[in-house]
Every structure is written in structure tokens, then in C-alpha cells.
Amino acid sequence: MSDHAVGPEIERLIQLLARLPGLGPRSARRVALHLVKRKDQLMGPLAEALAVAHERVVECETCGNIDTMTPCAVCRDPRRDGSVLVVVEDVADLWALERAQAVKARYHVLGGVLSPLDGVGPEQLAIDTLVERARDPQVREVILAINATVEGQTTAYYITDQLEACDVSVTRLAHGVPVGGELDYLDEGTLAAAMRARTQLQAQD
């Protein structure tokens, strides 16, 4: 952008906004303008919220979740089932499972999946700390809630090997037809997996 029309302060704001995922230079300018027009309703509060989060947000030393203290709220919550550890790739996956209220257990964030081509080996992921947590006699099950990609499945097998010495049962999420999904749009792999894992329907009493 030419610097004739906008001052360096707005130019810098636009450049930073353009580094957010999903925003390019054009949408960053649109966001900047939207913020300038809503200075007190949105720009001020957002600056404040970012400053607060910047100052206070930390990574949980136990599970890798994000919170304002460590251990995080999930790890501290006494109502959760301490015998189950749910292993996820990323904090976003943890949040997704929490929104779905899929399980009331504790988590372990790997921080990625094995990907030799990208230089991600076991030492780049939080696998050592997972094995350590799984050694706790309280832990009975480790659920691998890892994306069903090739790298994700490789990582799942690697973790299963690493957990062999621990006295835990290792499970993974079921494959199948998404709820509300149409068969016609599903890939063959999912359909075959859903067929193999078919379940008995019970007649209603």
C-alpha cells in the first residue's frame, strides 16, 4: 500500500493483522477499517483483551492445554475421570472435544504428529511426558484422539508401542459415518470401516 493515505500506525496494524490465519492484505485492511470505525466498542476492548491474554496465558505444564495458570483448569478439575487420558494433536482438538462434551477426562496435547519430511520426530512431540503420565497407576486407559490422516495413524501406532510397558489399555476413536452425513458423499475407506464396525440394532421394548 502506498503510504500517502495511511499513517505508519495503521500501516503497522494492517501488517500484523495480515499475519493472522485466514486473513490476507485485503481482508486485513478491511478488518483495520472495521476496527477504526468501532474504536471504543471493539478496537479498545480487543487491544485490552490481547494485552491481558499476552500477559497471563500460559501452557499447562502437565497436559499442554492453554490457560491462565498451570496446571490448567482441566487438570485441576476434581470431577474429571483421572483414569482416562485423551491424547490430541493440538489444543484446538482439545477444545473441539470439550465443546462436544465427548468425555470428562484429562488430556495430553502432543503438539503435532510425526512427520519425518517436516523434521518432526518423537523428540519434537510430548510423547515422553505422555509415557510418564501413563505410568501413574491411576491411569487405566489412553484414548488416542488423533486425526485420521496417514501421519496421525503413524503417530498412533508409535505411541501404542511406547505405551506397551505401561499397564494401560490404548484405544482410538471409532471410524464411521458422521452423524447427519450422507453415504453418497463419503470416501470408500470410511464406508468400509463403518461396515466392518457395524453394530446390532435392538428392537424397542
Q: Judged by CB under 8 A, does residue 57 bind a copy of itself?
A: yes
* Candidate segments 89-97, 121-129, 153-161, 169-177, binder of a copy of itself by CB under 8 A: 89-97
C-beta closer to a copy of itself: residue 43 or 186: 43
Q: Judged by CB under 8 A, does residue 44 bind a copy of itself?
A: yes
| One residue of 70, 71, 83, 98 binding a copy of itself per CB under 8 A | 98
CB atoms within 10 A of CB 164: 9
Report the DSSP beta bridge partners of residue 66. 59
Report the DSSP beta bridge partners of residue 120. 115
C-beta closer to a copy of itself: residue 35 or 87: 35
Which three cell numbers, joined as nine digits, stand for 61?
505444564
The count of chain residues that interact with a copy of itself, using the rule CB under 8 A, is 57
- The rounded distance, in Å, linking the Cα atoms of 79 and 74 is 9
Q: Judged by CB under 8 A, does residue 47 bind a copy of itself?
A: yes
C-beta closer to a copy of itself: residue 58 or 165: 58
Q: Mark out the alpha helices in the chain (DSSP H runs).
A: 8-17, 25-37, 44-56, 73-76, 91-99, 127-134, 150-162, 188-196
Q: Judged by CB under 8 A, does residue 6 bind a copy of itself?
A: yes
* Closest to 144 in 3D by CA, of 129, 127, 160: 160
Q: Judged by CB under 8 A, does residue 120 bind a copy of itself?
A: no
Strands 169-172 and 58-59: unpaired
- The rounded distance, in Å, linking the Cα atoms of 14 and 8 is 10
Q: Judged by CB under 8 A, does residue 94 bind a copy of itself?
A: yes
Residues in touch with a copy of itself (CB under 8 A): 1-2, 4-7, 9-10, 12-13, 16-17, 19-23, 27, 29-36, 39, 42-54, 56-57, 65-68, 73-74, 77, 90-92, 94-95, 98-99, 101
